């Protein structure tokens, strides 16, 4: 059974977009995925995004995606929201992944803006509507024009928010003004998808985070969110400022690369990367250690 949710917090408030652990030879490490999922939920995550970009979804097969969702559900599905990334730039393929995730037992779907083919807004509207119509699962949109090439415009988001199964948006657009308008006009629950903007997005109405740095600082993220929710803006700001070195360090290069390096430094399951992603250099690893230590992360 899925964990408890409300219309205001459909997937909880603090979620981490989980990496996909691999074995030394590059195969899927299901045991490692279960151990990492359990660690992240124990740390305070209400949910996990599986098979998102941080999960190296561009280089995992459909079968591997399904195996991973099954494994994570078995490990933490009774106490955390397990949201399956099903976004591709082919609507038919996304529908297949969505239906498979539903059959497997996922609690929700994450649908990223179609990338590379640069559809117009009507194409985006029809793509996301088709995904929402394909299953009975709640859908979180993922608006990240820096990767997809196309933003979901304000008017399109407001239209999509009217669909009963489109229940949230993960915002990595970096535009607080547009976020403010959509939140105000649609009431769509809003999750920060850009860790540096977690606190600013709370200030304009976001209800939580889908984080990458949550791999290493989930307790701090929850403390910041709780402080803001209780009206202690000063404490929330202090936590935000303390975490600035972590936000910076984890994105000096591609986030999956640094996240897996950080987890390895903490002796947690991660494993190697699949090309075209490559490991940090010795110099980059040394800088990551400095950044994490400056933000209070123990290695």
The residues annotated as belonging to the active site are 142, 170
Give the span between the Cα atoms of 85 and 109, in whole angstroms: 6
* 210 known ligand binder: yes
The answer on whether 54 is annotated among ligand-binding residues is yes
Beta-carbon contacts of residue 291 (< 8 Å; ≥ 6 apart): 245, 246, 248, 249, 250, 252
Closest CA to 41 of 87, 98, 3, 1: 3
- Classify the C-alpha dihedral 200-204-208-209 as positive or negative: negative
Burial label for 274, CB within 10 Å (0-12, 13-18, 19+), is middle
Chain centroid to Cα 193, Å, comes to: 7
* Residue 184, Cβ density class (10 Å: 0-12 exposed, 13-18 middle, ≥19 buried): exposed
* Residue spans of alpha helices (H) in the chain: 30-42, 62-76, 91-104, 121-134, 145-148, 154-160, 176-186, 198-203, 214-229, 233-249, 255-265, 282-294
Known binding positions: 54, 210
Known binding positions for pyruvate: 54, 210
């Amino acid at each position: 059974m899925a964990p408890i949710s409300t219309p205001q917090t459909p997937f909880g408030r603090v979620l981490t977009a989980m990496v996909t652990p691999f074995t030394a030879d590059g195969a899927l490490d299901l045991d490692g995925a279960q151990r990492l999922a359990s660690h992240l939920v124990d740390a305070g995550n209400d949910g996990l995004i599986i098979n998102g970009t941080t999960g190296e979804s561009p280089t995992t097969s459909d079968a591997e995606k399904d195996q991973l969702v099954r494994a994570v559900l078995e490990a933490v599905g009774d106490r955390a929201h397990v949201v399956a990334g099903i976004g591709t730039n082919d609507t038919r393929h996304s529908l297949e992944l969505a239906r498979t995730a539903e059959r497997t037992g996922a609690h929700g779907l994450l649908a990223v803006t179609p990338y590379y083919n640069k559809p117009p807004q009507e194409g985006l509207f029809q793509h996301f509507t088709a995904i929402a119509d394909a299953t009975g699962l709640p859908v979180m949109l993922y608006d990240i024009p820096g990767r997809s090439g196309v933003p979901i415009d304000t008017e399109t988001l407001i239209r999509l928010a009217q669909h009963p199964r489109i229940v949230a948006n993960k915002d990595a657009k970096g535009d607080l003004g547009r976020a403010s308008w959509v939140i105000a006009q649609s009431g769509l629950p809003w999750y920060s998808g850009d860790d540096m903007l977690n606190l600013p997005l709370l200030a304009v109405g976001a209800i939580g985070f889908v984080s990458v740095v949550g791999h290493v600082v989930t307790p701090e993220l929850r403390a910041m969110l709780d402080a803001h929710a209780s009206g202690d803006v000063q404490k929330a700001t202090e936590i935000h400022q303390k975490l600035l070195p972590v936000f910076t360090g984890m994105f000096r290069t591609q986030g999956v690369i640094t996240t897996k390096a950080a987890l390895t430094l903490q002796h947690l399951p991660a494993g190697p990367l699949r090309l075209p992603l490559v490991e940090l250099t010795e110099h980059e690893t040394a800088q990551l250690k400095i950044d994490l230590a400056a933000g209070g992360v123990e290695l």
